[in-house]
Amino acid sequence: MKSQDIRVNLATEDYLMKNYETEEPILLMYIQNPCIIVGKHQNIYEEVALGNVEEDGVVLTRRLSGGGAVYDDLGNVSFSFVMKKGRTAFGDYVTITEPIVKALKEMGVEDISINGRNDLFIKDKKISGNAMYSKGEKMFSHGTLLYDVDLEKIKRYLTPSKEKLKTNHIQSVEARVTNIKSHLSKKYQQMTTEEFRDELIMRIFGVSSLEAIKEKEIKLSDEDAINIQKRVADIYGNQEFVYGSHQEFSLKRRAYIKNVGLVIAELEIEAGKIKDLSFSGDYFSQEDPNEMIEALIGKRLIFNELMKELELLAIGKYFTGLSRRDLVSLLLGEYSND
């Protein structure tokens, strides 16, 4: 895949599944700029530190498959197998990831296994998350490979539920993952991400050069490219879809803020936007926050959007001692008492 835009790559994968006929499975390998991809059914407001993502200019999208949120950067290699149904059972990640596992073992990775529902591990550290999607007579299974990812960014951008961490008996998200690079045989540890990708492809196909499988490369036409860009606009780059216009849910934010007191915000989200909002706590105020609430109804929980809507309002009237930034951080679920 030549694109480093996750939205284009997901759209290409989706387009090929629906429109490209072949008896052989299609193997896609893609490397992309920093991005967050949430699963189809996830609540983006609970899973992602949206303020940090927006501040750093990280691309945020949603995929058609289920599973959890992942962070990719230029140190990650994503792979996808696009195929007809019947080649493997839906949810059989052991079979679908076998070529990847075999290639990594050949490159020196020891103690690699599939654990849980859909993850690849080296010992007790996750190196890959996988998900499947099925439509009609076709399906794809895609996954990540943490080759040389900036792992510190994972805890900056992802906020997995306490229930998930508790279930896995793990204290933090960064404790769960490791990069593949240091687990490879020494002769492979100096590879760039692109070289690592190419080595995987050659081993999966059992060849010594990419030139040997040149005839298997899929060439996209100009019409294909136009249709793929349309899918980007309609789905993967569509903010209504990304922020969960297909979901309705409630949020409760709670924080004790120094010199302000306890502030609790309860939100109803519909079509990805604030439908209702109320506050409680032991804070002081001069006025009820009705005007402020009215300004926020119909807005998405996006840092810059909320800051702009509150720009002309005197927040201190509604919450004595509270700044606009701290209020927005509270609504986003990112307020820290530290």
Residue 23 structure tokens: 């008896």
pLDDT of the residue at 282: 85
Confidence of residue 103 (pLDDT cuts 50, 70, 90): very high
Domain ranges of the chain: 6-242, 248-332
Confidence of residue 336 (pLDDT cuts 50, 70, 90): low
Closest CA to 100 of 85, 83, 89, 114: 114
Strand partners for 145 = 77
What ranges make up the beta strands (E) of 184-260? 248-257
What proportion of the chain, given as a percentage, has pLDDT over 90? 59
Homologous superfamily (CATH) for 248-332: CO dehydrogenase flavoprotein, C-terminal domain (3.30.390.50)
Residue whose entry in the numeric block shows the structure tokens 């109803």: 268
Contact 297, 274 (CB under 8 A): yes
Query: % helix / strand / coil in the chain, to the nearest 5?
Result: 35, 25, 40
Confidence of residue 174 (pLDDT cuts 50, 70, 90): low
Q: Is the pTM of this model over 0.95?
A: no
Specify the 3-state DSSP secondary structure of 303.
helix
Q: Give the burial class of 292: count Cβ atoms within 10 A of its Cβ; 0-12 exposed, 13-18 middle, 19 or more buried.
A: buried
pLDDT of the residue at 166: 41
Interval 21-41 mean pLDDT: 93
Paired sense of beta strands 248-257 and 261-270, if any: antiparallel
pLDDT of the residue at 165: 38
pLDDT of the residue at 338: 45
Going by CATH, does the domain composed of 6-242 fall within 1.20.58.340?
Answer: no
pLDDT at 233 over 80: yes
Interval 43-68 mean pLDDT: 89
CA dist 196 to 79, 160, 191, Å? 12, 29, 6
